[in-house]
Structure 1
């Protein structure tokens, strides 16, 4: 029997917690984060800002120069996570960060 399902059931699902771990690794300097967006954080001021963290492509929403939420993520192996406004509170990787981690990440994004 041939399956038309494009998902690989043997691959674990990419979760908000998994994306949050990658963000924490960047915050603590365990992984390098580079800007993919053409504009800097300050030049963009409001809109989607893209970064790469060692193969992970992460899109973050800049809300008037403040770190708001994670729009989406693509892992190096092709798994995807995306923000769904129907998700419960706390399912956004940014919402899972501590206040200190959130502020540190925002400062790092401003420096890219």
Structure 2
């Protein structure tokens, strides 16, 4: 069953995490949107596209840190808020293996 979701309904951290998780298991394809490579950015935002999902991930000194923002193909949005409690960042919801795999995939783009 497909449910209709209003474009104004914000994405949850879990929904964004699931997209990233599917990348780590090679169920979805991730491509680089940023002009610079992961290594060239070193510390800053790195933007990728996952089949129409635009995701901005923070590279902190060559280390996968947190998800800054995600916009779904329908225009739904999730944004990082420094006041959020631990575990509400999609990156923080990944397992250790998923986190390491995603970081490796980002470096390879």
TM-score by length of 2: 0.92
> In the TM superposition, what is the alpha-carbon distance from 1:10 to its structure 2 partner?
7.9
Tell me, yes or no, if structure 1 residue 37 matches structure 2 residue 30. no
TM-score by length of 1: 0.89
Aligned pair count?
A: 105
Equivalence map 1:31-110=2 (5 Å) = 31-110=28-107
Cα distance between partner residues in 2 of 1:11 and 1:67:
29
Cα distance between partner residues in 1 of 2:52 and 2:17:
15
RMSD (CA atoms): 1.5
Structure showing the higher helix proportion among its residues: 2
Moved over 6 A (4+): none
Cα distance between partner residues in 2 of 1:19 and 1:96:
10
- In the alignment, structure 2 segments of 5+ residues that lack a partner are none
- In the alignment, structure 1 segments of 5+ residues that lack a partner are 1-7
Cα distance between partner residues in 1 of 2:98 and 2:85:
21
